[in-house]
Chains A and B, each alone.
Chain A
Amino acid sequence: MRRLLYLLPFLLFIGVGVAFYLGFQRDPRDIPSALIDKPVPAFDLPPLPGRAEGLSSARLTGDVTLVNVFASWCIPCKAEHPVITRLAREQGVTVRAINHKDKAEDALSWLARNGDPYASIGVDLDGRTSIDWGVYGVPESFLIDRQGRIRFKHVGPLTPQVIEEQILPMVKHLRQG
């Protein structure tokens, strides 16, 4: 019995090791969304205090739009922010955002600090809308076509590579279609 106790750390480690191994087999970013090619879920989020426009499902038709789910407490969001800013300002893609489980003042100061490339931002204080969108964690980005359907989903921070190889070709294609 006493010997078993001494074996316990080893057994626990085996468990952790197996978890690492399995975790290693999968790409943390590679998640299929059940919502691909479906219309965006119906929602209507209020704006940040002091701003005019929030975000609603009605707003997501007409133009190809990237919807970015972010939070001020999320460090990868900060990492992807310059990429999103460039996408919006230099590459001319409309980017709107869902502010996920964030305090309004934190979100505002985060935007003031890092720049605000978003055409509009909806506040999802309790994360209900994010659940409807199938958001697992922040940041996540969705590409919406002109009919308001989700066509592409990226989990984790956007990188210049994802923009060049996936987002921009898709935007071009969707704008033609």
Chain B
Amino acid sequence: MIPELGHYALVLALFVAFVQAGPPLIGAATRNAAWMNVAGPAAIAQMLLVLVAYGALTWAHVVSDFSVQNVVQNSHSLKPMLYKVSGVWGNHEGSMVLWIVMLTLFGAAVAAFGRNLPPTLKARVLAVQGLIGIGFLLFILTTSNPFIRVIPAPLDGNDLNPLLQDPGLAFHPPFLYAGYVGFSMAFSFAVAALIEGRVDPAWARWVRPWTLAAWSTLTMGIALGSWWAYYELGWGGWWYWDPVENASFMPWLAGTALLHSAIVVEKRDALKSWTILLAIITFSLSLMGTFLVRSGILTSVHAFAVDPARGAFILVLLAIATGGSLLLYSLRAPALKAGGLFAPVSREGALVLNNLLLSTATATVFIGTLYPLFLDILKMGKVSVGPPFFNATFVPIAIPLVAAMVVGPFLSWKRADLGAALTRLWVAGVVVVVCVAVTAYLTAGGGPLLALVGVALAAWAIVGSLVEFAERIRLFRVPLADSWTRAVHLPRSAWGMTIAHTFMGVSIAGMTATSAWQSESIEAMRPGQTASLAGYEFHFDSVGPVAGENYKADRAVFTVTKDGQPVATLTPERRSYPVTRMTTTESAIHTTIFSDLYVALGDPTQNGAAWIVRIYHHPLVPWIWIGGVGMMLGGLVSLTDRRFRIGAPERRSAAKAGVSAPAQPAE
């Protein structure tokens, strides 16, 4: 009964979505307030209905209702409760329902809090959200219905892929989807603005918080995914340039660009049509990510069960959403009024550079991800593009990006003095030189030259961002109490920027150090033997069987010592899941802030007396994820900025009058 209620709620939600999309669009065109006002209540009704459907599906999973096909295929009565709940989105159908839950939550938020939006803009934004809802609800109901029954019901289910039964991964999809779907708000605002035919700073103040929220959750989602890959796939790698990872990375890169170009629209009323285009592209890349994962068009270990009907549907959806909005763009964008002028060396100029580099990076990842597909179509053979391509092309773009990231905030709007900005960064310059020298000394020149560049960049980003903050609060120039007052009164967006930029540097330090200076030892060890790595002694105490709720495992115990002092006890496991007949490696990790000790248990050797044991020392690897969490926090802090909450304009753009400057780009 309850699954049928869920199904019914989804069908109702589809009808409500039509109501949310149709009348408000007509109302906005004919200035009919009554028709426009339908959008708000419809958005809230759609959210409630979708929540009912999601609740029904969760209920079926929690009570292990094996008459529901989705539960049979992805659950098992012995599965721990955490994974029964997270298993709802651990499969294709359920994840699509989660997707639409996010979409309607955001739509309802605009309906509830968008009181100070111009009424036509609000109606159109909600209508575009309704259109997206129609697309995805139709997709779920026609190709991916999670409520299909099986008769007769089997006694037990097939269990969830054990690789996915993991706390890190359990919370990865909700963050990722919140990010993807959050960009749908930027998209809806962009399309609504194109229909309206005007973009102003107030519009940007609305787009910015949605983009910030989406960007922050996407950052967290990607960080969680990478952390999961690090400890679960079991070889200490943290990024594979796999098509599915790239599918989430491309919207992140484009979203980062959008985040920054929206600042220019808000503060200077410039870069308007470019920002609109970025909003469309960012959401399109999110849609494409969904398409790539589910179509089977590229092979990947992450891919959901592949079904051509689904791929075809999403392709049509992508064609309508992206094709339609880009066509609208080509018709309406030329009419958008260009705004403030600026010199190449200025805050705007720096943000344009940021956008150019990020767009190039997005295009690079896009080409690398889809190159095999294009070659295949042109009948030029099948290839797989591996990490070497991405490392060779992405890194050279990332280096100037990070270098410029630090300088940008020092530049003033409209026109700036680059020399003066660099002079104020002398402290950061000194720290960079010291860090590189110390690193080169400590590693005795070991590691590639690129690693030293990475260290320099990380130091530059961290110290440079902090120097910028110190300048703002006039640290050491005025009494400390005054600096403190200044810091407290700084806009939250300034805090957010400093936090995000600083932690970007922290991430880079982690990526660089672990790529260049990790060490590993792989040997066949018997209990009682000791291995040593990076100054630590790993004593293999014992190994024995243990049983979990839905798996059996061999668990080894290692005592780690350094100079005779105990450091940690590590218990790596090798689990086998009888239902899915899969074996997983549960590596044991001892982390300090500065490094990870990572032990994984492999197969027993052929005579069974010894075990293959892999031990890794990853310097600074936790910094990658500390950086990710920090960047997310930076985004969230920025989100609490006063002007987003009350929607008050900070200041009108002062410089409409011609400033002697060359023609501004991209307008």
Residues 69-85 of A, flagged 1 when their CB comes within 8 A of B and 0 if not, give 00011111011001000
A112 with B612, Cβ < 8 A, contacts A26-B376, A75-B240, A156-B299 known: yes
In the complex, whether B600 has a CB less than 8 A from a CB of chain A is yes
The reply to whether A6 and B614 form a contact with Cβ atoms under 8 Å apart is: no
The reply to whether A6 and B334 form a contact with Cβ atoms under 8 Å apart is: yes
In the complex, whether A121 has a CB less than 8 A from a CB of chain B is no
Which of A23, A110, A113, A155 has a CB less than 8 Å from the CB of B297? A23
B233 — which chain A residues lie within 8 A by C-beta?
75, 78
In the complex, whether A109 has a CB less than 8 A from a CB of chain B is yes
The reply to whether A3 and B603 form a contact with Cβ atoms under 8 Å apart is: no
A125 to B234, CA, bound (A): 24
The reply to whether B329 and A10 form a contact with Cβ atoms under 8 Å apart is: yes
A112 to B236, CA, bound (A): 14
Which of A78, A86, A115 has a CB less than 8 Å from the CB of B301? A78
In the complex, whether A52 has a CB less than 8 A from a CB of chain B is no
The reply to whether A24 and B300 form a contact with Cβ atoms under 8 Å apart is: no
Determine how close the nearest CB of chain B comes to the CB of A136; give it in whole angstroms: 3
Which residues between 93 and 147 of chain A lie within 8 Å of chain B, taking CB atoms? 108-110, 112-116, 136-138
In the complex, whether A47 has a CB less than 8 A from a CB of chain B is no
The reply to whether B330 and A7 form a contact with Cβ atoms under 8 Å apart is: yes
The reply to whether A157 and B299 form a contact with Cβ atoms under 8 Å apart is: yes
In the complex, whether B230 has a CB less than 8 A from a CB of chain A is no
B308 — which chain A residues lie within 8 A by C-beta?
24
The reply to whether A3 and B234 form a contact with Cβ atoms under 8 Å apart is: no
Q: Closest chain B residue to A140 by CB distance?
A: B382
Determine how close the nearest CB of chain A comes to the CB of B59; give it in whole angstroms: 31
A21 with B603, Cβ < 8 A, contacts A28-B296, A113-B614 known: no
Q: Closest chain A residue to B374 by CB distance?
A: A19
A75 with B326, Cβ < 8 A, contacts A109-B614, A113-B585 known: no
A31 to B375, CA, bound (A): 14
Residues 271-283 of B, flagged 1 when their CB comes within 8 A of A and 0 if not, give 0010001001100
In the complex, whether B520 has a CB less than 8 A from a CB of chain A is yes
In the complex, whether A173 has a CB less than 8 A from a CB of chain B is no
In the complex, whether A42 has a CB less than 8 A from a CB of chain B is no
A79 — which chain B residues lie within 8 A by C-beta?
301
In the complex, whether B94 has a CB less than 8 A from a CB of chain A is no
In the complex, whether A162 has a CB less than 8 A from a CB of chain B is no
In the complex, whether A14 has a CB less than 8 A from a CB of chain B is yes
A20 to B234, CA, bound (A): 33
In the complex, whether B646 has a CB less than 8 A from a CB of chain A is no
A73 with B297, Cβ < 8 A, contacts A20-B291, A137-B372 known: no
Which residues between 499 and 554 of chain B lie within 8 Å of chain A, taking CB atoms? 520, 522
The reply to whether B301 and A19 form a contact with Cβ atoms under 8 Å apart is: no
In the complex, whether A2 has a CB less than 8 A from a CB of chain B is yes
- Flag the segment in B146-154, B310-318, B409-417, B561-569 that touches A: B310-318
Which residues between 283 and 328 of chain B lie within 8 Å of chain A, taking CB atoms? 284, 291, 295-301, 308, 311-312, 315, 318-319, 322-323, 326-327
A113 with B383, Cβ < 8 A, contacts A75-B301, A76-B301, A78-B233 known: no
In the complex, whether B479 has a CB less than 8 A from a CB of chain A is no
B329 — which chain A residues lie within 8 A by C-beta?
6, 9-10
In the complex, whether B384 has a CB less than 8 A from a CB of chain A is yes
A24 — which chain B residues lie within 8 A by C-beta?
295, 297, 308, 311-312, 315
Which of A20, A110, A138 has a CB less than 8 Å from the CB of B315? A20
Q: Closest chain A residue to B244 by CB distance?
A: A75
Determine how close the nearest CB of chain A comes to the CB of B279; give it in whole angstroms: 12
The reply to whether A109 and B520 form a contact with Cβ atoms under 8 Å apart is: yes
Which of B234, B284, B301 has a CB less than 8 Å from the CB of A113? B234
A113 — which chain B residues lie within 8 A by C-beta?
234-235, 585, 600, 602, 612, 614
A2 — which chain B residues lie within 8 A by C-beta?
334
The reply to whether A23 and B373 form a contact with Cβ atoms under 8 Å apart is: yes
The reply to whether A76 and B602 form a contact with Cβ atoms under 8 Å apart is: no
Which residues between 247 and 288 of chain B lie within 8 Å of chain A, taking CB atoms? 273, 277, 280-281, 284
Which of A10, A82, A108 has a CB less than 8 Å from the CB of B327? A10
The reply to whether A28 and B326 form a contact with Cβ atoms under 8 Å apart is: no
In the complex, whether B333 has a CB less than 8 A from a CB of chain A is yes
B315 — which chain A residues lie within 8 A by C-beta?
17, 20-21, 24
Which of B381, B384, B612 has a CB less than 8 Å from the CB of A74? B384
The reply to whether A76 and B382 form a contact with Cβ atoms under 8 Å apart is: no
Q: Most chain-A CB neighbours within 10 Å: which of B374, B600, B603? A: B603
A110 — which chain B residues lie within 8 A by C-beta?
235
A10 to B331, CA, bound (A): 10
Determine how close the nearest CB of chain B comes to the CB of A97; give it in whole angstroms: 16
The reply to whether A109 and B300 form a contact with Cβ atoms under 8 Å apart is: no
In the complex, whether B647 has a CB less than 8 A from a CB of chain A is no
In the complex, whether B583 has a CB less than 8 A from a CB of chain A is yes
Q: Closest chain B residue to A15 by CB distance?
A: B374
Which of B319, B327, B381, B581 has a CB less than 8 Å from the CB of A17? B319
In the complex, whether B370 has a CB less than 8 A from a CB of chain A is yes
Nearest first, the 7 closest Cβ-Cβ pairs linking A and B are: A136-B382, A137-B384, A10-B326, A7-B330, A112-B612, A75-B301, A79-B301
5 contacts between A and B (CB under 8 A): A6-B273, A24-B311, A26-B376, A79-B301, A137-B383
